[in-house]
Amino acid sequence: MTDERERSVRAAIDGEMLLLDPEVRASPARVLELLDTDFTEIGASGRKWDVESILTVTSGGSVSPESPVKVSEMSGVVLAPGVVHLTYFADNQGRRAWRSSLWRLRGTGWRMYFHQGTLTS
């Protein structure tokens, strides 16, 4: 992987980890800094989310600071200049899911464009 590709993947991973941080999730302003204006998510529940609806959940304290999400098998690939696809496994207090997200580089930095979770045992 080239240095530029490595930096792109690293930036996306850093953003993903920030979005999983309970302190960041508790701040709508910080979450908005990481989400693309066209953000959508298909949650592990099957529900479709947009920026407004996801802010309701993230700022509602759905992640406990005492029990942060455990992440493993994080990997990323550059799909095109300014577009990174991440995949990883997340365990949120026993709720286990494979996660996938697309990040794109905007004038203001890397932003999550799409996210999907699929529950697993």
**Structural domains of the chain in order of their starting residue, each with its CATH number:** 3-60+67-119 (3.10.450.50)
Phi first, then psi: give them for residue 89, nearest 5 degrees.
Answer: -105, 135
Residues 82-97 pLDDT 10s = 999 999 999 988 989 9
**Dist CA 69 CA 75 (whole Å):** 17
pTM of the model: 0.89
Q: Is the pLDDT score of 1 beyond 80?
A: no
**Dist CA 25 CA 31 (whole Å):** 6
pLDDT of residue 45: 87
Residues 24-80 pLDDT 10s = 988 999 999 999 999 999 988 899 999 998 888 776 655 555 568 899 999 999 999
**Dist CA 114 CA 87 (whole Å):** 12
